[in-house]
Each structure stands twice: as C-alpha cells, then as structure tokens.
Chains A and B, each alone.
Chain A
Amino acid sequence: MILGLYNYWVVVVLMMIGFYIVIAHGNLIKKIVGLSIFQTAVFIFYISIAKVDDATAPILEEGISKYSNPLPHVLILTAIVVGIATVALGLALAVRLNEAYGSIEEESIQNQDNQEC
C-alpha cells in the first residue's frame, strides 16, 4: 500500500524540500531553485495521476484496450512552459537586483532598503 504509492511520496518529499528552500533561504538564486523544485514536484504529481494500472501509452494499436490518460501530460506541458517563464523572470530580476543593490542576499537588500526609509 505505502510502497505501491511511492511516487506520491516522492512528490510530497520534493514538494516540502522545494517549499522549505523558498522560505528558509536568503539567497535569491536559491529561492528560485527551490521554487522550481516545488513546481516540478507538482508536475510529477500530475503525471502520476495519469497512470492507469496495466495500461500502455495512449497509442491506438491492435489488441490493446487499456490506455493511460494522456490529458495530464498535455496539461503539464503547459505548466512546464509557465514554470520556465517564471524561473527566467525570477533570474532576470535577480540579475537586476544584483546590479542595483550589489548583492543577491535577502538580508543585505532589506537592510539597504531600511536605511533609505
């Protein structure tokens, strides 16, 4: 039972690792990496729910009547594109932040802001 659902365990563990990095790390690049892991866990989750026991890839073929659900894969292709755009934008912002503040550490940026106010 528990072992049979092992990819869901992978999903949960990856998700928590990613989420923890986003929250706990002060480095802007690491935060983006964490976010990316977090999103990837969700992608694996979608792919896992598409699996049908004893079924093959959804290609029409003689003698096969059980197919896995192809829809989640298509959905995740879209979500991957969204994820890439997010990571690209986040990294671009990190580059600009580094130019403006001379640092990619959350604490240092926050300190510089607090002095200005």
Chain B
Amino acid sequence: MLTHLPALAVIIPLLSAPLCLFLRRPLLAWLFTVIASGLTMLVSITLLQQVMASGTIVYEMGGWRPPWGIEYRVDRLNAYLLLIVTSISTVVLLAANTSIEKEIPRHRLTLFYVLYLLSLAGLLGVVTTGDAFNVFVFLEISSLAAYSLIALGEDRRALWAAYQYLIMGTIGATFILIGIGLLYQMTGTLNMDDLSRRLPEVSQTRTVFAAFAFIIVGVCLKVALFPLHRWLPNAYAYAPSIVTAFLAATSTKVAVYLLIRFTFSIFGISFSFTTVPLQTIFVILGLTGIFAASTTAIFQKNVKHLFAYSSVAQIGYMIVGYSISTTMGLMATLLHLFNHALMKGALFLALGAVMYRIGSVRLEQFQGLGRQMPFTMAAIVAGGLSLIGVPLTVGFVSKWYLVLAALENGWWPVAVLILLGSLLAIVYVWRIVETAYFNEPPAGRESIEEAPLGFLVPVWMLVSANIYFGMDTRLSVQVAEAASQALFGVSP
C-alpha cells in the first residue's frame, strides 16, 4: 500500500469524481468529496515524511520501466506542493456545503463536486508526474474543470470570464504542447529525468531555444505573470466563492511549480539563466507586475477584484525570488507559494462568508461590517496584515527571505522596490479596514448576523495557520530550503 502512494494521490480524486456523480444528495456528495480530499491530504503528508526521511520516491506506473513507461516522481519539491494543494483543498471544502447552497442552483450541486474533484486530480497529477506529456494532459484536465467551475458563478459575467480564460488557457497549453513536441523531436524522450540528461548535448540548437520559448510563454500564461494576467481578475471575481478560494490558493502555485521544474530540472540552470536572459526579463516583469497590479488593486470597487489583482502582484514577488536564482531566492519563492496559499485561501473564504450574508462583495457593502460580522472581518484583517507582511504573520517570513536573497545577491534596488510594493498593499488593505470599521452600516441593513460556523471554522483554521507558520517557521522553511537545495544540486 505504502509503495503506491504517489499514484494514489492522483487516483483517489480521479476515481472519486465519476463515483460522486451517483450521489444525488448534495450533502452526501459534499461528505464524499471532503473524505476524498482528506485522504489525498493524508497521502501527501505521508509522502512528505517519507521524502524528507529517505529521499526521492520513484513510482513506475503499471510496472513499465522509465523512460518507456510513465514515471511518477516525488521529490521534496513535489511533496511540498502536494501538501499545499491537498491541505488547502480540504480546508476550503469544509466551507463548501454552506457556501454554495446560496450561490449554485440545487440541481447542479453534485456536478460542482465532480468538477472540483477533477480539477484537484489534474493539479495533483501535474505535480506528481515525471513525464512531460503527462503534464500537458493533467494540466488540461484541471483547466477544463476550472473553466466549468468558474462558469458556475451566478453573475453572467462569470460566463464571459470563463470563456476568456478558456481561450487564454488553451493557447497556453497548446504552446506547452508545441514545446514538448520540439523537445521530443530533439531528444526522443518525454521522461523529465531522461530529458535533463539528453538536453545538454543539443542545447545549442535553434529547436531547443524555440521549445524553451514556447514552454516558458505557455507556462507564464497559466502562472498569470504580468502582462499575461488579463484572464485572472474576472475569473476570480465572478467564480463561486469556494472556487475562487480553491483556485487562487492552488492553480497558479502549480503553474509556478511547472516553471521551476522546466527551467531548473529539465533545461538546467546554466541553460535557463546563462544562455537565455531569463533572469533580466523575469525580474523586470515581476517588479512591473508588483507595482502595476497593486496600483490597480487600490482602485477596485469589488473586493474580490481587489484581492485578485493583489494575487497578480504576489505572483510578481514569487517571480522576483525565482529570478534571483540563488538557493536563497528560490527558497523565498517556495516559501511564498505556501504562505500565499494560506493568505489567499483565508481571504477568499472570508469573502465567501460576506457573500453568504450580504450577497455582494462590493466595497460599499462592507460599511459597518466590522461590528456586524466581527469574526469574519477580523479574519480579513489578519489575512490582509499577512499580505502586507507584518511580523508574526507568514507574509513577513517570505518577504524577509526575499529581501535577504536580494541583498545577498547585491540587488539592493530590488530589495527597496519589494518593500515599496508592500506599502501599496497597506493602501488597499486599509481601504477595506476603513470601510468596514469606520462607517455606519447602510440604512435597511441593520440585522446582518455573523457568518455561520460552517464558514468561521475553516476560515479561522487558515488564519491560525497564517499566524502559526509566521511564528514557528520550522516546517515551511526546512522543507523549502531542502527543496531549493535539491534543485540547485547541493546535497543537503
């Protein structure tokens, strides 16, 4: 049983999805989905322990030896990502039953869970697989499910957002497909490990450069790196709250993982950062992204839009850490993957609670909420503080390492810009705080109650994780450091 864990992480949600279709009662479907997601979380915790103790786990799918068969490979980075995706998914699901009863028509509830499980299976598949073509297939499974999940939003603009995301997402995925095809043409293999060994021989050919360009652009579309982020704000803003919380915390993270996997493991550091000027391009795009998206966030009237733009800015931080391309910089990026998932999970779930009580997340509707929904608002404030990077929250930990990494590399202007970017975060978080705490509730809305426990428990689980991992950084820092060292080929 234990030897099959890497496959189980994908197979549990993948098989649960069609089974879930038979459960007509929404409550049953919900319980079933929570259990399936909880099981994958247990699997990933076990995997992480095994990997930290005894190194990379290799699993041969169907007993076919790689590079002929498909290989599942779980090293520290994979295990870390698995843990992020499954734990966020499980916590977010806890609130799903309460949240979607008001946002999705009753006859579609079961289908919602089916799509959710498919999307989860796709994301976990991208993370565990060691085969480049398999990545494309799982990426499309998760994306197709995500488009449909977004289209379930009650506003008609959700449909338009889903359509635009579908177009952009498919272009991105097809670019990745072209890149993988070119790599296969040059090396005759699809296994990632095998690719990394065969690529150096042919790395100076135009075909490999073209493959690199296609894959990077395709992955960056999925990452929503500025200026390829146009699909993200509307998709996050009009999707059902649960979907926003799930996707914001997981899908872009998995795309960042792909970026790291392709550049560091497959193409190799010297090709990605020396032969191709990726470092300069990414540091500029990352910093522009931080400032452009944070500034746009300040002027948003819809709070979901506001946090969606803030997500684009946070991706900018991850890309800056990544482009520093030292062990420390990459470690900051990996930490921020984990920490940003915690923050955005908490924030979007809390917004889901507001949506549940008020039916809107426009900023003017937040007036007086500080007194009417004290626990929900306190969670939003805590999440916001974490977003800014106030000490004792997780946001501080990753920004701290990011600034250290920039300084270590002698990039002090970058460090200054990172800190300035945080000031912009203060502005947009403050707008929400000001509206919620220093205004009277609008007339005719005196009797809003606190969100039900179905919301408060998962929201506060994530908020306490935000604070706990902000103080006790052993787990996240240790794993991120080990993963980053492994990527640089330094044996720990």
Please give the residue numbers on chain A whose beta carbons come within 8 Å of chain B beta carbons, in ascending order.
Answer: 19, 22, 28, 31, 35, 38-39, 42, 45-46, 49, 72, 75, 78-79, 82, 85-86, 89-90, 93-94, 96-97, 100-101, 109, 113, 116-117
Contact = CB atoms under 8 A, between A and B. Distances in A.
A113 B157 contact: yes
A101 B159 CA distance: 10
Nearest to B68: A71
Contacts of A85: 140, 144
B374 interface: no
Contact of A89 (B148, B178, B185): B148
Nearest to B301: A117
Nearest to A98: B159
A39 B167 CA distance: 12
Contact of B144 (A28, A46, A89, A97): A89
Contacts of B133: 75, 78
Contact of B181 (A19, A31, A42, A109): A42
A78 B137 CA distance: 8
Contacts of A49: 181, 184-185
B171 interface: yes
Contacts of A96: 151, 159
Contacts of B151: 93, 96
Contacts of A78: 133, 137
Interface residues of B, number: 26
A23 to B, nearest CB: 9
Interface of B: 133, 136-137, 140, 144, 147-148, 151, 156-157, 159-160, 162-163, 166-167, 170-171, 173-174, 177-178, 181, 184-185, 301
A113 B163 CA distance: 14
Considering residues A46, A85, A94, which has the most beta carbons from chain B within 10 angstroms of its beta carbon? A46
Contacts of A19: 171
Given A85-B144, A89-B144, A22 B174 contact: no
Contact of B178 (A42, A90, A117): A42
Given A22-B171, A82-B140, A94 B181 contact: no
A60 B185 CA distance: 24
A39 B174 CA distance: 7
Nearest to B143: A86
A35 B167 CA distance: 8
Contacts of B140: 82, 85-86
Considering residues A31, A45, A86, A90, which has the most beta carbons from chain B within 10 angstroms of its beta carbon? A86
A45 B181 contact: yes
A86 B167 CA distance: 9
A84 to B, nearest CB: 11
Nearest to A28: B163
9 contacts: A38-B174, A46-B181, A49-B181, A78-B137, A79-B177, A85-B140, A86-B170, A97-B159, A117-B301
Contacts of A82: 136-137, 140, 144, 173
Contacts of A90: 163, 166-167, 170
